[in-house]
Structure 1
Amino acid sequence: MTLVVLKSLRTLVWGPPPETKLERNLLFKIDWFVLSYTCLAFWCLAIDTSNVSNAYVSGMKEELGIKGNQFNIINTCWTVGYVVGMIPNNLILLKIKPSIWMNFCMFIWGIFTLGMFKVNNWKQICALRFFQAAFESVIFSGSHMILGAWYKPNELSKRSAIFTSSALIGGIFSGSMQGRIQSTMHGLKGLSGWRWLFIIDFLITFVVVIYGILCFPDTPELCHRKFIFSDEEIQLARSRVIKPPPIRLDRTVFLRVLKNWKWYGFSLLFTLAGENISWNANSIFALWLTYNKYPIQDRNYYPMGISAVGIISSFISGIYIDMTHKFLHIALIVSTVLLISTILIWSAPLNTTAVFIAHYLTGISYSVQPVFFAWCNLSIQNDAELKIVTLASMNMFSNAVNAWWGLLFFAADQVPLSKRGCYAMLATIITTPLVALGINYGLTREKRRKEQISHEELESQTSVVEIEHNGIDKQ
Structure 2
Amino acid sequence: MASKFLQYLRGDQSLPGERKLVQKLDFFILTFCCLMYFLNYLDRTNLNNAYVSGMKEELNFKGNQLNQINTVFTVGYTIGQVPCNIALYYIKPRYFFPACMVAWAGLTMATAGTHSPGGIMAIRFFQAIFEASTFVGTHYILGSWYTEKELGKRSGIFTASGLAGTMIGGFIQTGIHKSMHGRHGLSGWRWLFIIDGIITLPVAIYGFLLFPDTPRRTRAPYLTAEEKSLAMSRVPEVSERTPISWTFLKHCLSTWYWYFFVVLWIIAGETESFSTNALLALYMKSHPKNKYTVAQLNNYPTGIPAVGIVSTLFWATLTDFMGGKRYLVGYWIGITGVITSAVILAYRDTTPVVFAMYYWAGSVYACQATFFAWANDVLRYEEDSLRAVVIASMNMGSNAINAWWSIVFYGAKNAPYFTRGMWAMIAVSIAMAIWTALLVWMHVRTEKRREIESAGIALDRKEGGILVEGEGEKGTAKAEVKGAEV
Alignment TM class, shorter chain as reference: over 0.9
TM-score normalised by length of structure 1: 0.94
Runs (5+) with no aligned partner, structure 2: 473-486
Q: State the distance in 1 between where 2:337 and 2:412 align.
A: 21
Given candidates 160, 166, 171, the residue that maps to 1:165 is: 160
Q: Secondary structure in 2 aligned to 1:138?
A: helix
Given candidates 307, 312, 315, the residue that maps to 2:313 is: 315
Q: Please show how residues 438-457 of structure 1 align to structure 2 within 5 Å.
A: 438-457=438-457
Q: Please show how residues 303-342 of structure 1 align to structure 2 within 5 Å.
A: 303-324=301-322, 325-342=324-341
Q: Which moved more, 1:392-401 or 1:16-25?
A: 16-25
Q: Please show how residues 85-234 of structure 1 align to structure 2 within 5 Å.
A: 85-226=80-221, 228-234=222-228
Q: How far does residue 244 in structure 1 lie from its aligned partner after superposition? A: 2.7
Name 2:37's counterpart in structure 1. Answer: 42
Q: How far does residue 361 in structure 1 lie from its aligned partner after superposition? A: 0.6
Asked if the contact 2:149/2:320 (under 8 Å) is kept, the reply is: yes
Q: How far does residue 15 in structure 1 lie from its aligned partner after superposition? A: 4.7
Q: Secondary structure in 2 aligned to 1:67?
A: coil
Q: How far does residue 246 in structure 1 lie from its aligned partner after superposition? A: 2.6
Q: What whole-Å deviation, never above 9, does each CA across 1:357-406 have from its counterpart, x for those lacking one?
A: 10001111110111110111111122112111110010011001000000
Q: State the distance in 2 between where 1:185 and 1:154 align.
A: 46
Report how many residues are paired. 465
Indicate how the Cα distance of structure 1 residues 374 and 15 shifts in structure 2: closer, same or farther if over 3 A, else same.
farther
Q: What whole-Å deviation, never above 9, does each CA across 1:92-129 have from its counterpart, x for those lacking one?
A: 11111111111111110111100010110100010000
Q: What whole-Å deviation, never above 9, does each CA across 1:47-100 have from its counterpart, x for those lacking one?
A: 010110000010000111102111110100100110111111111111111111
Q: State the distance in 1 between where 2:14 and 2:462 align.
A: 34
Q: What whole-Å deviation, never above 9, does each CA across 1:233-254 have from its counterpart, x for those lacking one?
A: 1121111111332342332111
Superposition RMSD in Å: 1.7
Name 2:300's counterpart in structure 1. Answer: 302
Indicate how the Cα distance of structure 1 residues 339 and 460 shifts in structure 2: closer, same or farther if over 3 A, else same.
same
Runs (5+) with no aligned partner, structure 1: none
Would you say 1:239 and 2:233 are equivalent positions?
yes
Indicate how the Cα distance of structure 1 residues 15 and 314 shifts in structure 2: closer, same or farther if over 3 A, else same.
farther
Q: How far does residue 454 in structure 1 lie from its aligned partner after superposition? A: 2.7
Q: Please show how residues 270-419 of structure 1 align to structure 2 within 5 Å.
A: 270-292=265-287, 293-324=291-322, 325-381=324-380, 382-419=382-419
Q: What whole-Å deviation, never above 9, does each CA across 1:143-191 have from its counterpart, x for those lacking one?
A: 0010111111100000000010000000112111001111111111111
Asked if the contact 2:11/2:19 (under 8 Å) is kept, the reply is: no
Q: State the distance in 1 between where 2:468 and 2:99 align.
A: 61
Q: How far does residue 10 in structure 1 lie from its aligned partner after superposition? A: 5.2
Q: State the distance in 1 between where 2:448 and 2:5 align.
A: 35
Asked if the contact 2:312/2:363 (under 8 Å) is kept, the reply is: yes
Q: Secondary structure in 2 aligned to 1:308?
A: helix
Q: State the distance in 1 between where 2:459 and 2:411 align.
A: 62
Query: What letter corresponds to residue 388 of structure 2 in structure 1?
Result: I
Query: What letter corresponds to residue 329 of structure 2 in structure 1?
Result: I
Indicate how the Cα distance of structure 1 residues 383 and 461 shifts in structure 2: closer, same or farther if over 3 A, else same.
closer
Q: Which moved more, 1:87-96 or 1:400-409?
A: 87-96
Asked if the contact 1:328/1:433 (under 8 Å) is kept, the reply is: no
Q: State the distance in 1 between where 2:263 and 2:10 align.
A: 31
Q: How far does residue 471 in structure 1 lie from its aligned partner after superposition? A: 8.5
